[in-house]
Structure 1
């Protein structure tokens, strides 16, 4: 009877999760154009990605830049806002809600379109620069600045990380701060000697989750810049999407997906391994 009640979950997991994962792994070793039958080609897709596809390395470089800069920016902003909210007593719920809103709508098509208009040649940013008598700039048309507009958008969506940091701050016993104040510790010393060490488990969780999210970013590049100019914002998932649904090379696209899966697994393992040296738990 128990299996009967959980059968919808089991069937859904097998049909909608397990089977697609296994089938995509099979497709990564085939040539498949979504119309005909898959044709087995072995490791050719993987060999092509690493040795004969310069756009693969371009997308990888852009993604590393995006995640490597966007994740620290988001985490720093989230921690600073959480520290500020931790001091707020009146209307704290309203402030948390308002600051969390960008994370709810930040990944949507509407916000991406808004961001494109904001940094467009006739957008609000250039209009403000004109009012101040400063030179305008083609933010989305310049390869040197286009990727940074996406990074700023990623950093702006700090709400979820902020709430997790805030929960971690609320769990730090106030007695630690009171005892350190008696010993003459100032706010900066308390931050580095109490707040950061006690918050390291939360920092670890946020780092892992935001790193995965950064590597899997798609909407900003797809809507705002379409991967341009000159592939300067060609994020990895956008390149994988183009191979699958624009070039109809599904076999190669699934190989790219599995490469990203392995890459994320490696980074996650490295972060977990490094946590032995900087994460502190109350019982350790």
Structure 2
């Protein structure tokens, strides 16, 4: 969007000489097959001291007075277009930088979706996870889960998140994966732009972390070896019954350990454990 400030008219145009390197840069930027002519440059001077640099290519001997009149008429519009294009380029570059950082520094799949479950944008990790179909995959009508029920749960969560109040717009959903009896935490957040909620939802899904690394991280957070093993199983989103069987514990003992883990880590739910250890495990690649 172009503002009134963008289209300000300079108080004066003052010509200035161009150095050879400036002329070469302008030739290269404009076109290698330029028509015969020469560049003439002006400073657009404003009352507050700011200056625009404007270069115009003319054929024949330039009439400076005519050029000043021409620029006085056309430059406010061109200035607005140039500033808008620069802002759009900066926004695009910023998006690419953000996605690059997420892709190369944090192994978390990130998607931007609309309320209908259609993916609009994704980082490299998310695209890789979708190709694998480990938890989510491309479907005929949008992003789908590993079965119809998981697809319905996911799409309902996305649709609900897109209309949640801004202060309550983050939810963690456990979805079944392609591995039997293993669930993965998916975090959904309603996207706010300039403080105003939109109908876009960001979705974060972790790559499957190495269980041994998760256990080491849990130990570093102050858990005993047994508690760390339980925390690692909770991170996978497994039921108490299945996790207890893997840990070689009774379901009651596993539940007791789970409560102890929650207390030590000062967390309120299994979802928070899963989210915390997932982010810790992929805070940066080795």
The alignment's TM-score, normalised by the length of structure 1, stands at 0.23
Which one has a larger percent helix, Structure 1 or Structure 2? Answer: 1
Normalised by the size of structure 2, how large is the TM-score? 0.23
Structure with the largest fraction of strand: 2
Considering Cα pairs closer than 8 Å and 6+ residues apart, tell me whether 1 or 2 has the greater RCO. 1
